[in-house]
Amino acid sequence: MKKRMMGLVLAGVMALSIGSAASVNAAPVNVAKATTATQKITYKGKVYTVPAKTDNIVIAGALEAMEDALVLNFKPKGMITVGGKFPSLFSKISTGVKGIGEKTEPDFEAILKLKPDVILGTTKFPAETTEKLSKIATTIPVSHIATDWMDNLKLLAKLTGKEKESTAAIVKYQNELKVAKAKLAPKFKDKTVVAVRIRSGSLFLYPKDVFFNRSIYADLGASVPKEIQSVKAQQNISLEAFAAINPDYLFVQFSADENKDNPKALEDLQKNAIWKSLKAVKSGNVYVNLVDPLAQGGTAFSKFSFLEALMKTKLYTAK
């Protein structure tokens, strides 16, 4: 029996390493430890059979799931690295955890060696990547859309037996949001509020339900600008076109890791005459990196952190 299992594992490693057609069509090789108690979880309209409770989870591709792990103080067996290391944002849960590849390039052999019960992938993965991961263990593609933040957090809570912690975190946020919205919604009335991310030295906009936009518009009551309403995916925008939007309040996210070819992109932007002409800049209502610049924006952790940081700014504290 031991020889047969070893043969299956070795065959799985070889198949996943070469990415052959055979690995896609072969019977699933699930190397997770046998578990007597199971549960069925419904997520995004699909039913998954998983252990009743497990900490044997690998996070591949979904930084969103890593942020959920932060909220629940859960340490997975393996998770994504950025530039070959775990970002400081995840230091609370990364000690002793194995790196299993970058966000868009999972290391199948490293994942296979961990023998996970469950793999949390991402809806951004191509179908063939999810299929290969599914041959190692039950793979659940985690949504990157902000409207799914609560379902995402509840998914990890259900898997790990941390449902009380999940509920408490959600209730706390909802209570704080009521207070914050009562004060901020009137300030945002008839104003243009925009969040941008600087990547590779360029400005990017996001759909109204992606990035921090869900928090700004749906949660805090700011009106969705027509320019944001037309955005369907991450969209590059020139400084000149952005100046035409001319926001009253502006939230900027800038990470050096995302601007390695242009590390002074933010500094150069702030010196630009067009940038200086923006209403938000003139009035001192530009907020740079209120939260960690690698935060995804649409997750429970991002929303909680953004709201807490926002309530410490002059935008909130000033009368």
pLDDT in tens, 65-111: 999 999 999 999 999 999 899 999 999 999 999 999 999 999 999 99
CA angle in degrees (0–180, nearest 5) for 121-58-94: 115
Predicted confidence at residue 32, as pLDDT, reads 45
**What mean pLDDT do residues 150-157 have?**
98
Which of 103, 134, 100, 128 has its CA nearest to residue 32? 134
pLDDT in tens, 253-308: 999 888 988 999 999 999 999 999 999 999 999 999 999 999 999 999 999 999 99
Q: Is the pLDDT of residue 8 over 90?
A: no
**Other Cβ atoms closer than 10 A to 91:** 10
Predicted confidence at residue 24, as pLDDT, reads 37
**pTM higher than the cut 0.95:** no
Q: How confident is the model at residue 27 (pLDDT cuts 50, 70, 90)?
A: very low
Average pLDDT, the chain: 90
